[in-house]
Structure 1
Amino acid sequence: MHLLKPFSFSKRFPETEVIGSAFAGNNDNLIPLSFGFPAPESLPVDKMTVATEAAMKTQGRQALAYSGGSGPKNIVNWIKERSKLREIIASEEKIMVTAGSSQAIDLITRTLTDPGDEIWVEAPTFFGALKTFRLAETKLVSFPIDEDGLRVDLVEQELITRVNKGLPLPKLMYVIPNYQNPGGVNLSLARKRRLAELAYEYNFFIIEDDAYVELSFDGTFSPAIYSFGPERVVYLSTFSKIIAPGLRLGWAIGLPQIIEKMKILKVDGLTSVYVQEVTKNLLKQMDMDEQISYLNSIYLPRKNAMVSAIKQYFGEEVSFHEPNGGFFLWLTFPTHIDTSEFLDAAMIAGVSYIAGKHFFLENEGFHHMRLCFTFCKEDIIHEAIKRLADTYYDHVNSIQVIEEVN
């Protein structure tokens, strides 16, 4: 028998806590409010079956080859046309199809930064992006959000301070402008325009991660940041929230020079040409506006059910911004509360959530939590919030007992 010698893993791995509750599956009674998942019944299984059969019958041998059939070109054309709704005008050489928008974030980061460069982010922000930035060995600086999104005024103040003191400027600014994950807020039009102006003035790039833009409950949209700064913005979106996350199809729109460099770093070659062929066929039989309307007809009542249950069971104990779209509610508890301290108890009670600390850089956000309202039906959501409130108040009471004993 061989004696194994010790070895070391790459130093690239950051010391990031695993977010176990999000995907815990060992409790059959668990109601998952942690999942950032679409409603299971919204997944177009029947249409996907037809689209898959058509892919094999019409483009089978090509779709199964490296370069694919007509799917990739058709998907790019669809993205080009759909982007016009955000006032984005993009030619084919500015568009890249990726394996989900998360791959696009990774490719942009590795294209535009070196280890030690700064990336500025919102606080809170998507923890998956934070992991990507840390793996790229960049330095992170965060700026708060409010009801109108990123505090662009504070970003501007910091840029001015950096210039005056001769300090490094950011290479990238990462922003989720619509129904922000996790905050649920939208970046105002004035702030979008000003942020783009700052990107030109201080020569940094903006990653505009627009995964939730289609899910507007009242059907209203504002122009993308990209429309104000196409030479300094890389725009991202995805099919994950509007068709199915299992497709793993997203896209990036940016300067041709950036897209070319991203393609060099994309060592897996073209994003699954077979999946693009199937998706092309699916889009042919699907009216996207009807699809979005259908999704929102599911998600709006679920959001309302969660809001109602929170008000019923938590009262004034928590506060939150009520989003007009997207996937998430972001709860704020009293400042002395650490939501990670009763996460395990909530799991035992049969409900999961993601503690707020995961959406911040470090030692922040302890009194927040993210809840997803899209995955579960209304009655299940109501029961989940009841369980969560019971768990929370048990936790508060236990703290009070300990304080009285001490």
Structure 2
Amino acid sequence: MSTELEPFSFAKRIPTTPSIGSTTVTKPDHIHLSFGFAAPHLFPIELLSYAAAEAVTQQGRKALQYSGAPGPGKVLAWIQNRSKLNDIHVDTDQILVTYGSTQGIDLTTRILVEPGDHVWVEAPSFFSALQAFRVAEATITSFPIDENGVRVDLIEEALIDARSNGKRIPKFLYTMPTYHNPGGVTLSIPRRKQLVRLAREYNFFILEDDAYSELNFSGKRYPSLYSLFPERVIYLNTFSKIIAPGLRLGWLIADKSILTKARLLNLGGSIGVFTQEIVAKLLDEFPFQPHIESLIAHYRRQSDVMADAIRTDFGDHVTFHQPEGGFYIWLRFQDHVNTTEFLQDAADRGVSFVDGRSFYVNAEAEGHSYLRLCFSYVSEDQIVRGVQKLADAYFAYLSKTMSST
């Protein structure tokens, strides 16, 4: 005999999470310009299969224990060596392997933030990071980006005002300075230097999310924020964009005081030790730099195809920054356009995107005239057809709104 259960009171700090960018659409012919996914045909499947088999046969009994085998140590050494390209010179005990860079965001937030503490972000910002800050009950303040990255001059004005008027200084500022998600922009070198100067002067941390820096279309390199001020920068990166996201391996680099606390919060012990064993075997055999160069060539071509399609199908109805790397193009429409209002029509026509408001602190009031497109996951043909379908949805929306006024 069953009885109806009374409603249960869940923790109020857990916010409601809306569907992002029609991600629930599963039709096989649907074009997912919303998916910030790596190109699946570029995954090193054969080498991963070999590495997995080697991990089992050579180290399986150790690798399947809690502490793992030699693989995790090899992964740390690889990260340590590769980080030197970003002028990051650290001991391996300053590196923590994480479940993707998103866990690094969560760990940093739990280490630094008490309810009511202030976290500053870019506008727009990565929606999963915003979710982590909301769960932590942080007070979130955002600062706009332009073609040179976040407006550091406005951050400085806010810091001066906070100090002068007894307001709270942020615990940290979260930024994606290189090939920003979703903006596609890169923080200029003068702004990088200004930002770390402010962190030093006002004593706050910078959380540097560097997930896309390997995907460098222009060849121009930018100094990591960590390299400019390691004492107050927490650096995040990931294998998701350069090998495969399903590995769920990223890393955090920080001062040892941060790493000590992060390890205390990492209740499950070492992260994915068997997966790390596989990755270590892969990296032993992998011509990694040629692989990165093939990724760059592919994604640069995809970016160019998307940019050309946008110019062809939208004309002067949109503006955007041509990215120097990464996965994304961020479209800006005229202020009266609300991209959320043609999200469903676009999905019905067979294409998904992420509406701009998903990337803002105040989703009800901000971002309505923007949308994000991802060029990494789909084929060139799908990009062309997807942008055309999106333009059809937009112009149908525009015609409808004009006729109703």
In the alignment, structure 1 residue 327 sits paired with structure 2 residue 327: yes
Instruction: Show the 5 A alignment for 1:313-324.
Output: 313-324=313-324
Q: Secondary structure at the match of 2:330?
A: strand
The equivalent of 1:7 in structure 2 is 8
Distance 2:24 2:12 in 1: 28
3-state SS in 2 of match to 1:17: coil
- Please, which of 358, 364, 367 is the counterpart of residue 369 of structure 2? 367
| CA displacement 1:22-71 (0-9 Å, x = unmatched) | x2233232100000001110111111001101101111101000000001
> TM-score, normalising length from structure 1?
0.97
2:399 equivalent to 1:391: no
**Alignment correspondent of 1:197:** 197
Equivalent position SS for 2:231: coil
SS of 1:119's partner is: strand
TM-fit CA distance, 1:16: 4.3
> For 1:177 and 1:246, how far apart are their aligned partners in 2?
24
Once residues 20 and 213 of structure 1 are traced to their aligned partners in structure 2, the CA distance between those partners, rounded to angstroms, is 24
Aligned AA (1:43): F
Whole-Å separation in 2 of the counterparts to 1:140 and 1:18: 22
- Give secondary structure in 1 for the equivalent of 2:243: coil
Distance 1:350 1:387 in 2: 7
Alpha-carbon distance in structure 2 between the residues aligned to 1:115 and 1:155: 22
Residue deviations 1:290-321 (CA, integer Å, cap 9, x gap): 11101112111111110111111100000000
Distance 1:94 1:198 in 2: 24
User: Mind listing any 5+ residue stretches in structure 1 that lack a counterpart?
Assistant: none
Distance 1:220 1:112 in 2: 33
Query: What is residue 344 of structure 2 aligned with on the other side?
Result: 344
Report sequence identity in percent. Answer: 47
Separation in 1 of the partners of 2:35 and 2:300?
Answer: 17
For residues 18 and 258 of structure 1, the distance between their equivalents in structure 2, rounded to whole angstroms, comes to 33
C-alpha deviations, 1:110-134, integer Å up to 9, x for none? 0011111000000001001000111
For residue 145 of structure 2, give the secondary structure of its aligned residue in structure 1: strand
Distance 1:25 1:396 in 2: 24
Deviations 1:155-206 (A, max 9, x none): 0110001000011110010010110000000111111111111111101000
Distance 2:251 2:4 in 1: 47
- Matches for 1:85-234 after TM superposition, within 5 Å: 85-234=85-234
Which one of the candidate residues 367, 380, 383 is aligned to 2:382? Answer: 380
Answer yes or no: is the 8 Å Cα contact 2:21–2:355 preserved in 1. Answer: no
Residues of 1 paired with 2:123 and 2:357: CA distance? Answer: 10
Letter in 1 for 2:374: C
Which amino acid in the other structure matches residue 257 of structure 2?
Q
Structure 2-normalised TM-score? 0.98
* 1:330 aligned counterpart, secondary structure: strand
Partner residue in 1 for 2:40:
40
**CA distance in structure 2 between the aligned counterparts of 1:293 and 1:49, rounded to whole angstroms:** 22
Which amino acid letter does the alignment assign opposite residue 221 of structure 2? Answer: F
CA RMSD in angstroms comes to: 0.9
CA distance in structure 1 between the partners assigned to 2:129 and 2:376 by the alignment? 21
Q: CA deviation at 1:402?
A: 1.4
Paired AA for residue 45 in structure 2: V
Query: 2:4 corresponds to which letter in structure 1?
Result: L
1:210 Cα deviation (Å)? 0.1
Residue 15 of structure 1 and its aligned partner are, at CA, apart by: 4.2
3-state SS of 1:397 partner: helix
Q: Is the 8 A contact 2:21 2:353 kept in 1?
A: no
For the residues of structure 1 that align with 2:149 and 2:63, how far apart are their CA atoms? 42
CA deviation after TM superposition for structure 1 residue 17, in Å: 3.0
How many equivalent residue pairs? 402
Contact 2:21 2:34 in 1 (8 A): no
- In 1, Cα distance between the equivalents of 2:75 and 2:54? 16
SS in 2 for 1:121: strand
Q: Is the 8 A contact 2:72 2:277 kept in 1?
A: yes
Instruction: Describe the SS at the equivalent of 1:6.
Output: coil
